[in-house]
Structure 1
């Protein structure tokens, strides 16, 4: 029982005291590395532009154009003659 309590307290201590600074340090290292390489902002912006240009060249049309390949036939609707009426009682 004492071993369980000690282990639980040790895990709680780790989560409250050690994990936040450790994650902050790791995130800082990741961002510094990306900033040093110049790929933190640059990669995503130009990658999206490149994908749009590739899509335009593959489709052979500009962005926003609409083409409809198939229009299904609509079945004729029977005119609605009415439905069942249900009696109701108003509650006050």
Structure 2
């Protein structure tokens, strides 16, 4: 009798969790997103951390921002005029 009661209670608890969990999850997720949007950290958390790290690295190197730009010269390639077409290849249509 105790085993049957245990199974019945377990089934009821699982059914209750299945009905309540989606609503509870949506509520908690909504609260989390509202908090992040209010603080302004939802989209820019990692970007701010990266910018702070880069600023710290530049200060430790003693360089001003923008002095680490390097431009390589790439000469223009002349157009190839020695291509006379290719070989003719027979083909068959496959249906």
Runs of 5+ in structure 1 lacking a partner? 64-92
Structure 2 unmatched ranges of 5 or more: 69-95
- Pair 1:15–1:55, CA change in 2 (3 A): farther
Equivalent residue number for residue 87 of structure 2: none
Aligned-residue CA RMSD (Å): 2.4
Change (3 A) 1:56 1:10: farther
Aligned to 2:34: 32
- Could you give the per-residue CA deviations for residues 67-91 of structure 1, whole angstroms, max 9, x where no partner exists? xxxxxxxxxxxxxxxxxxxxxxxxx
CA drift of 1:53 comes to 2.1
Following superposition, the deviation at residue 61 of structure 1 comes to: 7.9
Paired residues, what number? Answer: 62
In 2: Cα distance, 1:49 partner to 1:21 partner: 38
- Summarize deviations over 1:56-75 as a string: whole Å, max 9, x none: 433x2888xxxxxxxxxxxx
Would you identify which runs of 4 or more consecutive aligned residues in structure 1 move more than 4 Å? none
